[in-house]
Amino acid sequence: MERTATYRLAPYAVLRAERFGGLIYRYDNRRLYFLHAPALVELLNALDGSVTLDDALDMLPTSEPVRGQYMRALAHLERLGVIIRVAPEADAPHVPPTVAPA
């Protein structure tokens, strides 16, 4: 995972906060994942595709060792397809604007 990249929850995944942490459900394969850290749920909520991973981590009051744990957890969630990297504007396919007939 790149700390300067932006990520978001996959469109087929939903996150729900719980007392113990949170649940992630994937509609495409009907799998349920348990998160045992409420701060990780906060971090996932901050990853909305508009902030970098570093900026989202800065929102949480964490030490560097804890950041490493979050990075490992996020990398695992990325491998599971729960979170996805958002393509930068330069990498996004160009769609020319359409002009309405006069």
What pLDDT tens digit does each residue of the chain (102 aa) get? 888 999 999 999 999 999 999 999 999 999 999 999 999 999 999 999 999 999 999 888 878 888 889 999 999 999 999 999 998 765 555 455 555 555
Q: Report how many helices (DSSP H) and strands (DSSP E) the chain contains, helices first.
A: 3, 6
Domain that holds residue 27: 6-85
Tokens of residue 80, six digits: 């599971």
- Answer whether residue 14 is part of any domain: yes
C-alpha span between 75 and 49 (Å, rounded):
16
- Answer whether residue 90 is part of any domain: no
- Answer whether residue 48 is part of any domain: yes
pTM to 2 decimal places = 0.78
- DSSP H or E segment with residue 22: strand 21-26
Q: Domains in the chain: how many in total?
A: 1
C-alpha span between 91 and 82 (Å, rounded):
21
